[in-house]
Structure 1
Amino acid sequence: MGKQKKARKYATMKRMLSLRDQRLKEKDRLKPIKKEKKDPSALKEREVPQHPSCLFFQYNTQLGPPYHILVDTNFINFSIKAKLDLVQSMMDCLYAKCIPCITDCVTAEIEKLGQKYRVALRIAKDPRFERLPCTHKETYADDCLVQRVTQHKCYIVTTVDRDLKRRIRKIPGVPIMYISNHRYNIQRMPDDYGAPWF
C-alpha cells in the first residue's frame, strides 16, 4: 500500500501576520498587555443579591389581613367566564378582608381590548378597587406587576397566565391566586394565615 497523496485544498486561507509579529514596524505592532497583580491582602468584593428584610426563612411578614391583591387582566376575564364576584370570592378564599388593587397598566390593557370586554372594564373601575398609579411609560401589564411585586412584598398576585406565574414564582415570598374548578385557589401562602392550601 502506497502513501496517499494529500492534494492541496482549493481555497486555503492566506496566512496573515499576527499583530505581535517581529517583522512589523513598531507603530503597527500590538502593545503587550500588562496584567495587574492582585493584592492578596485586599478585600474581595462579591455581589450577593440582598434579600428583603420582610422575609424571614422565606416567610413574608408583610402579608396579613387586610390583604392587598394585585389583579391581572386575564384574571378579571376568567372570573367573568366562571361567573365569580371578584371581591366576594377573594374573601371566601382567604377568610379575611381583601382589597383588590388595579394598576394603570392593567386598566389600559383592558381598554385596549375594545368593546367586547366592556364588562371587565366596568369591574376594573369598581369603587371597591384601589387604584395604583404607574410611573413608567410602557403599558405591558405583566412587567408592571412583576416590578411592583419585587419592590413591595405586601401583595398577592392574581393571574391565570402561565408565563406570569412562572416569573412570580422566582420572587420569594409572593403568593399567587388563580382560578380552578370555578373557585379561587392560592399558592405559596404561609400556613399560619389559615388560607386553604391547594
Structure 2
Amino acid sequence: MGKTKKARKFAAVKRIISPKDARIKKNQELALQKKKKEEEDKVKHVPQASSALFFAYNTQLGPPYHVIVDTNFINFSIKNKLDIVKSMMDCLYAKCVPCITDCIVGELEKLGSHFSVALKIIKDPRFERLPCMHKGTYADDCIVNRVEQHKCYIVATCDRDLKRRIRKIPGVPIMYITRHRYSIERMPEDYGAPKM
C-alpha cells in the first residue's frame, strides 16, 4: 500500500508574502519616519531654575531658619536624647523654627503607641504646623514637593532615599544626625553654617 501524497494548494501558498518583501520594508520605513517626526514635535520639559538661586547660593535662606522635620529624624533625636530646637540652634548658630506637615503627623499617628513620645514632642507650640492640600499621607513625596516649590526650607531627615531625592534639588540644605549631634550638608558658610 502506497502513501497518498497531499499536494499543497496553490492559492494558499501564493497568499503568503515573504518577510523580505519590499512592500513590507516600505511600510516599516514609513512607520519609523512617522515616529521620528512625533518625537521631534514633542516639547521636552526642562525644569526652570529657581529665581532664589544665585549660582550655588540660595538667597531665600536666612535666619530664622525654617526646618522641615521628618518622622525618622524625630525618632533618632529621641534615641540620641537630643532636644530638637536647642540642637538645631547649636548646629546653625541662629534661631530655628521646626516645621511639621500634616503628612508627618499622620505618619506618626499610624505608627502607633510606640511613637507616642514623638507625637507629644511635635505638639509643642515651638513647632510650626504646615497644612497639606494633597491626597494621601506619604511624607517623603510631600516634603519633596514642598521643597521644590519653596526653596526657603532646610530638610531634617536621616532617611537615605529622601536625602538622595533632595540632593537632586539645587539649593536645599539637609540636616542629619551624626555622632550624637546635628550636622548640616550643602549649607553655604556665608549663612553661618558650621565648618566641618
TM-score range, shorter chain: 0.7 to 0.9
Task: Using the aligned pairs only, state the percent identity.
Answer: 72
Counterpart of 1:87 in structure 2: which amino acid?
V
Cα distance in 2, alignment partners of residues 113 and 31 from structure 1: 56
**Does structure 2 conserve the Cα–Cα contact (< 8 Å) formed by 1:101 and 1:129?**
yes
Q: Which amino acid aligns with 1:140?
A: Y
What TM-score, normalized by structure 1, do the two folds share? 0.79
| Deviation for aligned residue 1:49 | 2.5
The structure 1 segments of at least 4 consecutive aligned residues displaced by more than 4 Å after TM superposition are 30-36
Contact 1:186–1:197, Cα closer than 8 Å, also in 2: no
**Deviation readout 1:4-56 (Å, 9 max, x if unpaired):** xxxxxxxxxxx96379x699xxxxxx6994968x9xxxxxx764331000001
Equivalent position SS for 2:169: coil
Corresponding residue of 1:195 = 193
Superposed CA deviations along residues 65-113 of structure 1, whole A, max 9, x for unmatched, are 0000000000000000000000000001001000000000000000000
Q: 1:187–1:197: 8 Å Cα contact kept in structure 2? A: no
CA contact (8 A) 1:159 1:177 kept: yes
**SS state at 2:46 partner:** coil
**Which protein has the bigger helix share?**
2
Cα distance in 1, alignment partners of residues 153 and 182 from structure 2: 16
Change in 2 beyond 3 A, CA 1:56/1:113: same
Q: Answer whether contact 1:103 1:133 (CA < 8 A) is retained.
A: yes
- Corresponding pairs, count: 172
SS at match of 2:176: strand
Tell me the C-alpha RMSD between the 2 structures.
2.6
Q: Is the 8 A contact 1:90 1:184 kept in 2?
A: yes
Query: What residue number does 1:140 align with?
Result: 138
Distance 2:108 2:65 in 1: 24
TM-score, normalization: structure 2?
0.79
- SS of corresponding position for 1:102: strand
